[in-house]
Amino acid sequence: MEPLYGPLSRSIRLYEVGFHEIVEFFYKLAEAADILKGEDRPLPYAPAKPPSDLLEPVEGTISVKHGFPVFQKGGVVMDVTNTEQAGIAEDAGAVAVMVLDKLPYDVRRAGGVARMADVKVIEQVMEAVTIPVMAKVRIGHYYEARILEAIGVDMIDESEVLTPVDEAHHINKWAFKVPFVNGARSLGEALRRIYEGASMIRTKGEAGTGNVAEAVRHMKQIMNEVWRLRSLPSEELLRVSRELGVPSQLVEFTAKLGRLPVVNFAAGGIATPADAALMMWLGADGVFVGSGIFKSRDPAERAAAIVLATSMWDDPESVAEAQRMISEEKSMMGIDVRKLKPEELLQVRGAES
């Protein structure tokens, strides 16, 4: 059979190893790290590998946590602030909703400290839709994350859109049963977050601008850095891993796969079906849309159109059909990233640790 959507062998989405081998790799990495740290470590680095013969069901394993985002691939996660928006997102075909107190565009305008959303609102959304519900916590805020885990949120976004509480440390995500997604602008940031236990990476882009330029830059940066790794001899990989601040095994494994070893979405400034298709073409596994939908004047149509364009990105006719479903005059106005002052950029938050 002729490959229908380009040769599968060259697709960045077809891993060279099976999912279980990726999980196995993380267990080995955790074991090595635990031996190095010794017995008196304050937190377990990662859950122990379940025995080969299970008598009881076991929750929170790496297969279960890293498996969750696998089933978000090809989909659109939509930012919502209430149950009505969540219903529109579900009906449009969103794979999940992300509950926020304010859309990133409004966070930017409001200023002040941006925190986790209202627990009651998150719970209302969880009761209103059948699709997964995500919510954001501030970078380094263990207790916002513990609260979201306790109420049963399906995935936690440790997000630069909210005001960080710890500039030096991110959350040790291995210590949670619920999977995490983290933003990244470069391979180093992505691999550090993965080493801390992130089950999924997304580009940071520049949230709340309606301008996809920064997401494009970050996706290309990560892809280019991965491709560069593939041409390096192993002693060079060792040097790179020291520079990036992660174990060499993780860098070698990434080089071998030719992509990040976890699901990698695009986020930050996606406002139209064409923006979403562009990010998929650049190699994203799926997209997050923040202000782009509910800051537009045609949210229901736009949500459905972005879902269609994200899934059918490799069929230009379908993307054109999606683009026809919206009208440009109803798009969010957007902000030119170059006009933002350095202190107004959200993407630099948590980048150095």
Contact between 87 and other proteins by CB under 8 A: the answer reads no
The type of residue at 138 is R
Catalytic pick from 49, 65, 73, 136?
136
Sheet of 180-184, strands arranged across: 263-265, 200-203, 180-184, 155-159, 133-138, 96-99, 76-80, 287-289
Quick one: which segment of 25-33, 86-94, 100-108, 215-223 binds other proteins (CB under 8 A)?
86-94
Least separation, in Å, of the C-beta of 319 and other proteins? 12
| Helices 119-128 & 83-92 angle (0-180, nearest 10) | 40
Please give the size of the binding site for other proteins, defined by CB under 8 A: 60
Q: Which burial class, exposed, middle or buried, applies to 336 when counting CB atoms under 10 A from its CB (0-12, 13-18, 19+)?
A: exposed
CA angle 330, 272, 163 (to 5 degrees): 95
User: Of 285, 263, 135, which Cα lies nearest the Cα of 199?
Assistant: 263
> What's the CA gap between 223 and 309, in Å, rounded?
22
**136 is known as an active-site residue:** yes
Q: Measured from the CB atom, is 114 or 293 closer to other proteins? A: 293
Contact between 11 and other proteins by CB under 8 A: the answer reads yes
- Please select the residue that binds other proteins; options are 75, 205, 208, 292, rule is CB under 8 A: 75
- Take residue 6 and report the two structure tokens written for it: 């380009």
Sketch the per residue contact string, 18 through 57, with other proteins: x for CB under 8 A, - otherwise.
xxxx----------------------------x--xx-xx
Contact between 10 and other proteins by CB under 8 A: the answer reads no
Sketch the per residue contact string, 307 through 346, with other proteins: x for CB under 8 A, - otherwise.
xx--xx--x--x----------------------------
- DSSP-derived letter for residue 196 is T
- Please select the residue that binds other proteins; options are 47, 132, 140, 299, rule is CB under 8 A: 132
Contact between 96 and other proteins by CB under 8 A: the answer reads yes
- Take residue 284 and report the two structure tokens written for it: 């994203």
Least separation, in Å, of the C-beta of 154 and other proteins? 4
- Please select the residue that binds other proteins; options are 26, 80, 81, 90, rule is CB under 8 A: 90
Contact between 124 and other proteins by CB under 8 A: the answer reads no
Q: Which burial class, exposed, middle or buried, applies to 24 when counting CB atoms under 10 A from its CB (0-12, 13-18, 19+)?
A: middle
> What's the CA gap between 97 and 126, in Å, rounded?
9
Under 8 Å between Cβ of 33 and 247: yes
Q: Measured from the CB atom, is 118 or 154 closer to other proteins? A: 154
> What's the CA gap between 322 and 307, in Å, rounded?
9
Contact between 13 and other proteins by CB under 8 A: the answer reads yes
Q: Which residues form the catalytic set?
A: 136
Residues near other proteins, by CB under 8 A: 1-5, 8, 11, 13-15, 18-21, 50, 53-54, 56-61, 63-64, 67-68, 70-75, 90, 92-96, 126-127, 130-132, 149, 152-155, 177-179, 286, 304, 307-308, 311-312, 315, 318
